[in-house]
């Protein structure tokens, strides 16, 4: 089933990330629409274990790198409208053995394509303080849980993470996008996943980095209830399941306000 886009979209929302964004997808869309209005055309490239520059697998399911997925062809073909893009969860590529330079090239490619669409862009940097607080045993434990095939040492991972963090700082200065530096108190024991009960506060803090639309008053977001519900949950446009390719036409998801959702 292919869902029809709303007859009138107020804007376009683009969300790129991995597990944090996957777990909070509906919440982030809701908060962004509180800030920018809706209904929206929503393009996402998310998924547990998702990487920016390489094909990745988690629990038997494989997904293309964010820079290589079908979102970009859809964006090129889409009609112009106000566009707001959030890029987060950068760094999964490290534990897949990808060198920092290649990770940064993939992220920069995404940002350049978004800037060609005049998108307002916010990128979250790696949470280096919370990552560096990981002891040897905690690092080894969570590496085995989330990246069972990885054999990278803690020192190797920290070296690469620092290089990606510094590279994003340089890139933000050069390409003029907003880079958000997350505080360590948002994250749990693994150093990379946002604490469940702090997700709403965390993403509200991140999204405040986007300037408010001209003429829009500051809302009382903290007092509003979570109202958005799925009429149809989105499915991946392309994935592999135990090596078998699975396709789904897009947009595959729809929210109660009529927003269409593509999951690339």
pLDDT tens column, 4-48: 444 588 899 999 999 999 999 999 999 999 999 989 999 999 999
Tokens linked to 164: 């990606």
- The C-alpha atoms of residue 125 and residue 208 are separated, in whole angstroms, by 15
Question: Does residue 112 surpass a pLDDT of 90?
Answer: yes
What does the DSSP assignment read for 36-105? H-SSEEEEEE--TT--SSS-EEETTEEE--GGGSTHHHHHHHSPP--EEEEE--TTHHHHTT--HHHHHH
pLDDT value for 58: 86
Please choose, from the candidates 90, 167, 81, the residue with its C-alpha nearest in 3D space to the C-alpha of residue 123: 90
3-state secondary structure of 209: coil
Which listed CATH number (3.30.870, 2.50.20, 3.40.50, 1.20.1070) goes with 39-263?
A: 3.40.50
Query: Do residues 221 and 31 lie in contact, with contact meaning Cβ atoms separated by under 8 Å?
Result: yes
The beta strands (E) that lie in 170-252 are given as: 178-180, 230-232, 238-241, 244-247
Share of the chain above pLDDT 70, in %: 92
What integer is the mean pLDDT of 111-116? 97
**Pairwise CA distance, residues 244 & 241, whole Å:** 5
Report the alpha-carbon distance of residue 177 to residue 180 in Å, rounded.
10
CA distances from 224 to 70, 200, 210, 219, 228 (A): 34, 12, 19, 9, 11
For the ranges 17-31, 149-163, 209-223, 250-264, which has the lowest average pLDDT? Answer: 209-223
**What was the pLDDT predicted at 2?**
42
Average pLDDT over residues 234-260: 94
Q: What is the pLDDT of residue 220?
A: 44
Gap between the Cα atoms of 229 and 257, Å rounded: 8
Q: Is the pLDDT of residue 54 over 50?
A: yes
The pLDDT score that the predictor gives to residue 155 is 97
Q: Extract the tokens encoding 31.
A: 């908060």
Per-residue pLDDT at 9: 86
pLDDT at 3 (0 to 100): 45
Mean pLDDT of 121-138: 97
Which residues in 142-175 are b (16+ Cβ under 10 Å) and which e? bbeebbeeeebebeebbebbebbbebbeebbeee
Helix (H) or strand (E) holding 123: strand 120-124
Q: Would you kindly state where each structural domain of the chain is located, as residue ranges?
A: 39-263
pLDDT, tens digit (0-9, with 9 covering 90-100), for 194-212: 999 999 999 999 999 999 8
Distance CA 125, CA 87 (A): 9
pTM attached to this predicted model: 0.93
| pLDDT at residue 159 is higher than 70 | yes
Confidence of residue 165 (pLDDT cuts 50, 70, 90): very high
pLDDT at res. 152? 95
The pLDDT-based confidence of 228 (bands split at 50, 70, 90) is confident
- Find the mean pLDDT for residues 223-227: 51
**Average confidence score pLDDT of the chain:** 91
Contact 152, 97 (CB under 8 A): yes
State the pairing for strand pair 40-45/11-16: parallel
Q: Which two tokens stand for residue 43?
A: 């393009």
Q: What is the mean pLDDT of residues 144-150?
A: 92
pLDDT band of residue 230 (cuts 50, 70, 90) is confident
Smallest Cα–Cα separation from 47: which of 27, 31, 26, 62?
62
């Amino acid at each position: 089933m292919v869902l029809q886009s709303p007859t009138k979209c107020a804007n376009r929302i683009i969300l790129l990330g991995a597990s944090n964004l996957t777990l909070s997808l509906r919440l982030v869309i809701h908060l962004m629409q509180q800030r920018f209005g809706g209904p929206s055309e929503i393009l996402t490239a998310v998924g547990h274990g998702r990487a920016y520059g390489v094909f990745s697998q988690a629990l038997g399911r494989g997904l293309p790198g964010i820079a290589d997925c079908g979102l970009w062809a859809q964006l090129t073909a889409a009609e112009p409208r106000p566009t707001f893009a959030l890029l987060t969860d950068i760094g999964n590529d490290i534990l897949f053995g990808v060198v920092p330079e290649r990770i940064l090239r993939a992220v920069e490619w995404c940002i350049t394509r978004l800037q060609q669409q005049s998108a307002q862009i916010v990128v979250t940097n790696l949470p280096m303080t919370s990552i560096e607080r990981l002891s040897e045993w905690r690092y080894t434990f969570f590496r085995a849980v989330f990246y069972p095939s990885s054999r990278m040492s803690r020192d190797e991972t920290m070296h690469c993470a620092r290089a990606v963090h510094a590279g994003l700082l340089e890139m933000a200065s050069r390409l003029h996008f907003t880079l958000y530096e997350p505080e360590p108190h948002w994250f749990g024991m693994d150093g990379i996943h946002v604490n469940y009960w702090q997700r709403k506060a965390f993403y509200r803090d991140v999204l405040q980095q986007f300037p408010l639309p001209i003429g829009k008053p500051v809302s009382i977001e903290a007092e509003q209830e979570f109202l958005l519900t799925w009429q149809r949950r989105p499915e991946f446009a392309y994935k592999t399941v135990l090596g078998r390719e699975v396709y789904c036409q897009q947009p595959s998801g729809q929210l109660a306000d009529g927003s269409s959702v593509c999951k690339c």
